[in-house]
Amino acid sequence: MQRILSLDDIRFTYTPDEPDKPMAVDGVSFDMQPGEWIAVVGHNGSGKSTLARLMIGLLFPQEGKVELFGDTLTEENLWDKRSQMGMVFQNPDNQFVGATVQDDVAFALENNGIPFEEMTVRVREALGQVKMDGFLDHEPQHLSGGQKQRVAIAGALALRPRLLILDEATSMLDPQGREEVIRVILELREKTGLSVISITHDLEEALLADRIVVMNRGRKFAEGTPREVFANGNELTALGLDLPFALRLSSLLREQGVTINETMSERKLVESLWTSRLNG
């Protein structure tokens, strides 16, 4: 099957005239298969957003190559490739251009020359996918954070992308808003086989991914399934990342002599505590 994305040893610096400064992205490679969800985590300034900008051709690497849907990304095919991607950023307020929810979602379609009839269908469909079809004529600025971010995602989905890139798209949201957004994306992926890259500080969110890429100082520090990556919990803590709650609590309890399995899921932690109590 064709790869959705492939990064091959890419390097990028914002300051090419100052070779002594560390590079923002320094020799990163990884591949993505169709339908995969990859979470990219790392401390502030580790190069995550730069990586996202390189993936969508807002920046070009000084070395190495970015491959999208089977072709190396170039100035020539940039617009064609970008029309197959959706991107959502951290702050929903900076992303609204329309006076109403439906205008806003229609905006990118209009720019892409989608005919009016088709546009109406797609706007409704995308807003339905994020459960915001009851808000067509609402003003975006009066929505809650979670609702705004769902509208921003609808804007990206209306383009029917093959790849959705979320850069801290849930970080301004309260836990409920965050859960809403994540549930919607999980459902969509299930239904449509959408591939997702989510850049996040939230390791609980990263747990849901098929694979996690950990960035540190512009380099790929680790890559693997959540289980593989969190197996080296201490290393991640040393990088300044907060481990998932259940993993932290279960290892603390073990240190205190409680006989339970180390686990990443809160449900399993509760089950394990019950069993340990019944046996102990």
Ligand X SMILES: Nc1ncnc2c1ncn2[C@@H]1O[C@H](COP(=O)(O)OP(=O)(O)OP(=O)(O)O)[C@@H](O)[C@H]1O
161 binding ligand X? (CB under 6 A): no
- Binding residues for Mg ion, rule: CB under 5 A, are 48-49
Residue of the chain from 6, 33, 49, 91 that contacts ligand X (CB under 6 A):
49
Residue of 36, 168, 180, 204 marked active site: 168
Our finding on whether 148 is near ligand X (CB under 6 A) is no
Member of 38, 47, 143, 211 binding ligand X (CB under 6 A)? 47
What is the rounded CA–CA span in Å between residue 58 and residue 256? Answer: 50
Binder to ligand X among 44, 94, 256, 279 (CB under 6 A)? 44
Q: Is 251 a residue that touches ligand X (CB under 6 A)?
A: no
CB contact at 8 A, 162 and 32: no
Beta bridge partners of 66: 7
Instruction: List, in order, residues 6 or more apart from 20 with CB less than 8 Å away.
Output: none
Place of tokens 């836990």: 175
Query: How many chain residues bind ligand X (CB under 6 A)?
Result: 10
Report the alpha-carbon angle 247-249-253, nearest 5.
115
168 catalytic, yes or no? yes
Q: What is the DSSP letter of 93?
A: G
Question: Residue 44: which of ligand X, Mg ion, none does it interact with, CB under 5 to 8 A by kind?
Answer: ligand X
Count Cβ atoms within 10 A of the Cβ of residue 266 and give its class: 0-12 exposed, 13-18 middle, 19 or more buried: middle
Q: How far is CA 54 from the centre of its chain?
A: 15
- What track of x and - describes contact with ligand X for positions 3 through 32 (by CB under 6 A)? -----------x---------x--------
Interacting partner of 46 out of Mg ion, ligand X, none (Cβ under 5 to 8 A depending on kind): ligand X
Q: How far is the CB of 49 from ligand X (least distance, A)?
A: 3
Whole-angstrom distance, CA of residue 206 vs CA of residue 41 = 8
How many C-alpha atoms does 276 have within 13 Å on its Cβ side? 15
Question: Should residue 48 be labelled a site residue for ligand X when binding is judged by CB under 6 A?
Answer: yes
Task: Identify what 216 binds: ligand X, Mg ion, none; CB under 5 to 8 Å per kind.
Answer: none
Which of ligand X, Mg ion, none lies near 42, with the C-beta cut-off 5 to 8 A by kind? ligand X
Amino acid 239 reads L
Q: In the complex, which residue's CB is closest to Mg ion?
A: 49
Range 90-129, binding ligand X (CB under 6 A): none
Q: Which stretch binds ligand X (CB under 6 A): 28-36, 42-50, 67-75, 264-272?
A: 42-50
- Beta carbon of residue 26, minimum distance to Mg ion (angstroms, whole number): 16
Residue with tokens 């790869």: 3
Does residue 42 bind ligand X (CB under 6 A)? yes
- The backbone torsions φ and ψ at residue 255, rounded to the nearest 5 degrees and listed phi first, read -60, -30
Nearer to Mg ion, 73 or 199 (CB): 199
CA–CA separation, 25 and 11 (whole Å): 5
Query: CA-CA distance, 249 to 243, in Å (whole number)?
Result: 10
Name which of Mg ion, ligand X, none residue 149 binds, using a CB cut-off of 5 to 8 Å depending on partner kind. Answer: none
Check binding of 272 to ligand X (CB under 6 A). no
Helix (H) or strand (E) run with residue 223 in it: strand 219-224
Binding site for ligand X (CB under 6 A): 14, 24, 42, 44-50
What are the catalytic residues?
168
